[in-house]
Amino acid sequence: MGENNHNDEGFVELGYAKADTDRARRQHAAEVIYGEGKTAKQIAGIAEALMAHGQERVLVTRLDADKARELAALKDGALAEAPFHYYDQPRIGIFGDMPQPDGKGTVLVIAAGTSDIAVAEEAALTAEFLGNAVERCYDVGVAGIHRLLARVNVIEAARVIVAVAGLEGALPSVVGGLASVPVIAVPTSVGYGASFGGLAALLGMLNSCASGVSVVNIDNGFGAAFQASLINHLP
């Protein structure tokens, strides 16, 4: 993949990227690669640089299946011994194995509908990658609210909740009214024309009447999981 030029400032200069080898010290979570817009060779080069400098595992988000197949063939150097797993629905690739959970409790990921599962799985897998025990609760949207109410015990047991929904985005408000822990709302781009690609859900969540609900960007399961992990690792 070419020579890595590591310096004392905590990054590896690759020409096309500066791989941040100091991220784990600063944020207690190592660098993650955003796969969209990068070639498979660039992703492999960044991952190799990170693992060559002590990172045990590397998460790649927004990775399409074609690039994943290329990555499996590009493994050499520090990547040669690392298993590579690809999850097609959330478009996530992982070099290395998942860690044992070391968070204080459970991160609960709730999805309103089956169409929201891709974003929910991005959140769930990211949270697991960051060392959290994760429970999933899918297809429990407000159109059949009895499905959600049947899982109140799971909501009450969680330490932090990620609630994923499209259309009008009502689910996080309902969950926020049932939970005593932080709820991180994720609007999805699922919906008909007037949902405006998730903007309607985003605005609905931002205007939630439930206390304790915060909101990330449209389809940003990764961002929600990162925030949930920070909360779950607080003393």
Residues 149, 228 within the same domain: yes
Residues 125, 32 within the same domain: no
Tell which residue, 153, 102, 147, has the closest CA to residue 128. Answer: 102
Domain membership flag for residue 77: yes
Going by pLDDT thresholds of 50, 70 and 90, the confidence category of residue 81 is: confident
Q: Taking residues 149-161, report their average pLDDT.
A: 96
Among candidate residues 45, 61, 95, the one where a domain is terminated = 95
pLDDT for 122: 98
For residue 185, give the CATH number of its domain. Answer: 3.40.50.1970
1-29 pLDDT, tens digit each: 545 565 568 899 999 999 999 998 898 88
DSSP strands (E only) in 43-159 = 58-61, 84-87, 92-95, 106-111, 133-138
Going by pLDDT thresholds of 50, 70 and 90, the confidence category of residue 74 is: confident
- Structural domain of residue 38, as residue ranges? 5-95
**68, 86 Cβ separation under 8 angstroms:** yes
Residues in CB range of 173: below 8 A, 6 or more apart: 204, 205, 208, 209, 210, 213
Residues in CB range of 120: below 8 A, 6 or more apart: 109, 110, 111, 136, 138, 162, 164, 186, 221
Residue 42 identity (one-letter amino acid): Q
Residues 51, 115 within the same domain: no
Examine the pLDDT at 34 and tell me if it is beyond 70: yes
Examine the pLDDT at 49 and tell me if it is beyond 80: yes
Examine the pLDDT at 41 and tell me if it is beyond 80: yes
Residues 85, 129 within the same domain: no
Q: Are strands 11-13 and 5-6 parallel, antiparallel or unpaired?
A: antiparallel
Examine the pLDDT at 126 and tell me if it is beyond 60: yes
Domain membership flag for residue 100: no
Residues 140, 39 within the same domain: no
Residues 223, 116 within the same domain: yes
Domain count, the chain: 2
Counting residues of the chain whose pLDDT is more than 70, the rounded percentage is: 97
Domain membership flag for residue 76: yes
Among candidate residues 95, 114, 133, the one where a domain is terminated = 95
